[in-house]
Amino acid sequence: SDGYEHLRVERHGPVALITLDRPKALNALCDALTVELTHALDATEADDSIGAVVLTGSAKAFAAGADIAEMQPKSFTDVYLADFITSSWERASTTRKPIIAAVAGYALGGGAELAMSCDMIIAAESAKFGQPEITLGILPGAGGTQRLARAVGKSKAMDMVLTGRMIDAEEAERIGLVARVVPSSSVIDEAISAATKIAGFSRPAVLMAKESVDRAFETTLAEGMRFERRMFHAAFATEDKTEGMGAFLDKRKPSFNHR
Ligand code: CO8
């Protein structure tokens, strides 16, 4: 839809579902796909009727990494001057609205890094995560040494980054890389239903909560606690706080207007 070549965007009520769709290369993240994804995320961010985003791939591959055929001829100067590939890849991690990665099949290299840039990963039983860059004579370049180490700790991160070993969904859940593992046939439904639930809550509260969790990875505990407290106080200024607490006391469902 929307004239994209390598992805599809569909609406499910307040949720935008972005599906990577480059089947001939297992959704390898070529430059054109990356540009389209950035554009699609800009569009969901700008659309007030969207409360949350789900990013997914195919049953066989979420994404098998950066496009190796495109990378092979590039020199140091090429990638350095273009700031390959950070500039475009930061988009998923800078989205203010919640974004859930629904991962089935391979999430490798830049594909695993893209999934980790989302707020949480819901994995199909078929999911396989890995940082195989080392097998190509390079190393991860979009968070595979940083977000992965924060998510799973040093030993597991070193294991994956230095050996290139793939882990399955069960191991990924055990080590805290993914939030949930679900049957492969229901991974998109599960992610859409989680996103729909999130989109139904007070948007300012959701964005403040996301921003606060993200602070935990950027700052000291004392500063993080202070940031959280300020956001918590700010939430008391919203109409949605009055509505949410009032609805509880009236024993009815709240109707948030995202103000
Ligand atoms: N790039 C380009 N083409 C790819 C890629 C890729 N990453 N992955 C698969 N393809 C292509 C294959 O070449 C093949 O094409 P063709 O049919 O024309 O031969 C097609 O997709 C199907 O793949 P396979 O035949 O290999 O399928 P299998 O089921 O046998 O194997 C695997 C599946 C195990 C996933 C295998 O394809 C594989 O190992 N792929 C490469 C995985 C990899 O090394 N990824 C890391 C790439 S490096 C990286 O991501 C650096 C990131 C830097 C940061 C930037 C963020 C984007």
DSSP result, 86-104: HHHHHHHHH-SS-EEEEE-
For ligand 1, mutation pick of 20, 21, 26 (most atoms within 8 Å of CB):
26
Q: With a 6 A CB cut-off, is 98 part of the ligand 1 pocket?
A: no
- Please give the share of the chain, as a percent, with pLDDT higher than 90: 95
pLDDT of res. 87: 64
90, pLDDT greater than 90? no
Cα(259)–Cα(246) distance, rounded to whole angstroms? 15
pTM of the model: 0.96
Cα→Cα distances 118→55, 61, 99, 136, 238, Å: 8, 17, 5, 25, 26
Task: Calculate how far, in angstroms, residue 138's C-alpha sits from the geometric centre of ligand 1.
Answer: 15
For residue 44 the two structure tokens come to 């969901």
Nearest CA to ligand 1 atom 12: 25
Catalytic residue among 25, 52, 63, 66: 66
pLDDT-derived band at 1, boundaries 50, 70, 90: low
Cα(38)–Cα(44) distance, rounded to whole angstroms? 10
CA 242 to chain centre: 31
27, pLDDT greater than 90? yes
Q: Which atom of ligand 1 is nearest to the CA of 67?
A: 1
Task: Calculate how far, in angstroms, residue 66's C-alpha sits from the geometric centre of ligand 1.
Answer: 8
pLDDT-derived band at 77, boundaries 50, 70, 90: very high
133 is catalytic: yes
Q: With a 6 A CB cut-off, is 195 part of the ligand 1 pocket?
A: no
Could you read off the pLDDT of 102-159 as tens digits, one per residue? 999 999 999 999 999 999 999 999 999 999 999 999 999 999 999 999 999 999 999 9
- Please give the share of the chain, as a percent, with pLDDT higher than 70: 98
Task: Calculate how far, in angstroms, residue 205's C-alpha sits from the geometric centre of ligand 1.
Answer: 40
pLDDT of res. 63: 97
Mean pLDDT of the chain: 96
Nearest CA to ligand 1 atom 47: 65
Catalytic residue among 113, 123, 194, 195: 113
pLDDT of res. 83: 87
Could you read off the pLDDT of 228-237 as tens digits, one per residue? 999 999 999 9
Tell me the CB-side half-sphere exposure of residue 52, using CA atoms within 13 A: 26
pLDDT of res. 174: 98
Q: For the chain, percent helix, then strand, then coil, each to nearest 5?
A: 50, 15, 35
For ligand 1, mutation pick of 20, 67, 68, 148 (most atoms within 8 Å of CB):
68
Q: With a 6 A CB cut-off, is 112 part of the ligand 1 pocket?
A: no
Q: Which of 2-11, 15-24, 77-86 has the lowest mean pLDDT?
A: 77-86
63 is catalytic: no
Could you read off the pLDDT of 153-178 as tens digits, one per residue? 999 999 999 999 999 999 999 999 99
Task: Calculate how far, in angstroms, residue 208's C-alpha sits from the geometric centre of ligand 1.
Answer: 37
DSSP result, 111-171: HHHHHHHSSEEEEETT-EEE-GGGGGT----SSTTTHHHHHH-HHHHHHHHHH---EEHHH
36 is catalytic: no
